[in-house]
Amino acid sequence: MCNICKSSCALSRIGYYLMAVGAINWGIVGIGYFMNINLNLVHLLFGTWPALEAIVYILVGAAAVFMLIGCRCAKCQTCFVAPVAPVSK
């Protein structure tokens, strides 16, 4: 699932966006490491609330696992069906 379908379920869309936000955050953390500054956006936004920061990390991790496994609902199954190539003889 490399692309989110417009007719996919809400859970798949939320997972996709959480995973994208997490990936962007980790990319920015890596850039900040080389510049020797802390660019962790989640920590910068929620650093005063460590519990909320941990919840965001758990949600992003759960979304990544969910996207790796894939949604099994009927709405997503019809959205991500790969086309079958015709067999030539």
Reported as a single tens digit per residue, the pLDDT across 55-84 is: 999 999 999 898 888 777 777 766 655 555
3-state helix, strand, coil in the chain (%, to 5): 65, 0, 35
Neighbours of 21 (CB within 10 A): 16
What pLDDT does 8 receive? 77
pLDDT at 4 over 80: no
* pLDDT category of residue 2 using cuts at 50, 70 and 90: very low
Which tops the pLDDT comparison, 1 or 6? Answer: 6
Six-digit token string for 87: 């067999």
